[in-house]
Structure 1
């Protein structure tokens, strides 16, 4: 009965305990660095999975049937056939240049839908004015001492009528948001009549502050497109999507659009790994270059598997001796196949195999 060769791990690298610990530490460090380079901790960040990030927004948009694009440049706004695209801007940290504002205005006039979510920064109102919208964010925090989620700084708002954006929505919950001065825009969601704007910042109803129902979401036509103003960007973050019917409301905003463009061109920076992937996706030349590099690397790696390494794999595969095996390889193979053989017998057979090679090669 012929026995199978016993496993032999002598070809594996032998590591001491300190070396093994160092290798483990290095592997964990590399994993941590890759993770850090592919995620973000910035508020409203598209790659932030924490409570204040908007990583879940991409999932909501995709579930609504839209092709989701994380925009890092205003040039990604289409200026023709834009009626199938909705662009979402969450509290931009930097102002848009005049040429960028013109690009976005052309996008709206060409039929695109622009959703601007802002509370206290001035860039939201500047963008609304640039695209020709009439709505403006008030900028003062809104409180409601009667209709709220956990406290008065998280007021509950309700639909102002039957609109596609509020279909299936009973309550929208804000988180330290403000209100919208609608102007000629149509209110879609309003606070209750017990809400007030905190003018002096003491979180109490006093002085000239008045209770009234005020818009927190408005919609208006601009050219062939629409502009929707949402007075609380945190409504789109991961934690707040689970409050009230916020998830359903956000889904409605992107529904019936082929593309959802999440505009992060003037927001927090995109993680390096994500930015690199987005750059490759936008550039056919970069995509081709990366493909060529990958194929070249695979070919180079394959060539580095020189004959001694290939012999090692053959030695432990259990097949008949390969004609290219080294003398040591033949001896190891025979010892594994015939453990009952004496060392001298193994050497004699090895010599016979080696001597037969020239004859076989001539016959071939």
Structure 2
């Protein structure tokens, strides 16, 4: 076998093997809807038909009957912030689930007088077996809390601000662990603290949740978390379209590779790109053979 052909086959084989391994390797990233493990959101995606999106362009077409779930770990661009604002003002519902991410930037852009404290919420007494797993049992009567007795949290933070309808709060035993030593120091703020709130933005609704972990596979069945989420999905009616923003989640190297392969597959599903690819591969493989055969040699005779 010619050396060039051997090298070509090795490169193609290695590339194919790596691509297949990456494609089929399970997603482990937090809050990903394709993640079936404890920290993913596959359970609610399958149960409620949630659509992951990687662009806000389609949101504006469905503002009046849709819910967008956003867990902003990566800061949105100015254009994306404008799109989000327009989506909510035109009648959309946004669940902004944030603990230590970039949610405050979104609130500032929407001129909402609230913020996430981005400080750990602990409760040494009213919890699910650990102070870092507080229970929110102080609930306001609301469509969101129908049938809910408690919300089970996991490394949550808190919501501060004015002009909000405060729907769920931690107990008076809770505190903000400013120095991360798990002890309630004298100078650390004491509860109750708001962990779920709601406000109007234009013609739409903004719902603030200080713990996106409430929705993960390992937590969604804890307490009455699933009841809360079911109430949320019904607020706009049974025909509500549910989206989740995955472009502002943190990406591991594996996830970036998966997204690259996904985009490549989408591109190659079009007729023109796949035709060009087949043509290029065919020419690359057959060119040495054509060159070896060569063209007829014409010799000049005197």
Q: Please, what TM-score do these two structures have when normalized by structure 2?
A: 0.75
Aligned to 2:180: 201
Question: 1:86 maps to which residue?
Answer: 67
Question: How many residues were matched structurally?
Answer: 253
Number of the residue aligned with 1:41: 28
**1:216 and 2:216 matched:** no
SS in 1 for 2:38: coil
Relative distance call for 1:165 and 1:280 in structure 2 (3 A) is farther
Distance 2:20 2:270 in 1: 27
How do 1:37-116 residues align onto structure 2 when only pairs under 5 Å count? 39-62=26-49, 68-78=50-60, 80-90=61-71, 92-116=72-96
Deviations 1:204-258 (A, max 9, x none): 1112224321110100000000111110111111101121111111222222352
What is the rounded CA distance, in whole Å, between the counterparts of 1:151 and 1:207 in structure 2? 21
The 1-side partners of 2:90 and 2:22 are apart by 43
Distance in 2, matches of 1:251 and 1:275, equals 33
Q: Which runs of 5+ in 1 are unaligned?
A: 1-27, 63-67, 294-364
Mapped contact 1:105–1:131 kept (Cα < 8 A): yes
Give the corresponding residue for 2:127. Answer: 148
Specify the structure having the higher radius of gyration (Cα): 1
Aligned to 2:166, which of 176, 180, 187? 187
Which residue is equivalent to 1:326? none
CA contact (8 A) 1:157 1:189 kept: yes
Alignment pair present for 1:268 and 2:250:
yes
Q: Which runs of 5+ in 2 are unaligned?
A: 1-16, 276-302
CA contact (8 A) 1:45 1:268 kept: no
| TM-score under structure 1 length normalisation | 0.63
Contact 1:159–1:166, Cα closer than 8 Å, also in 2: no
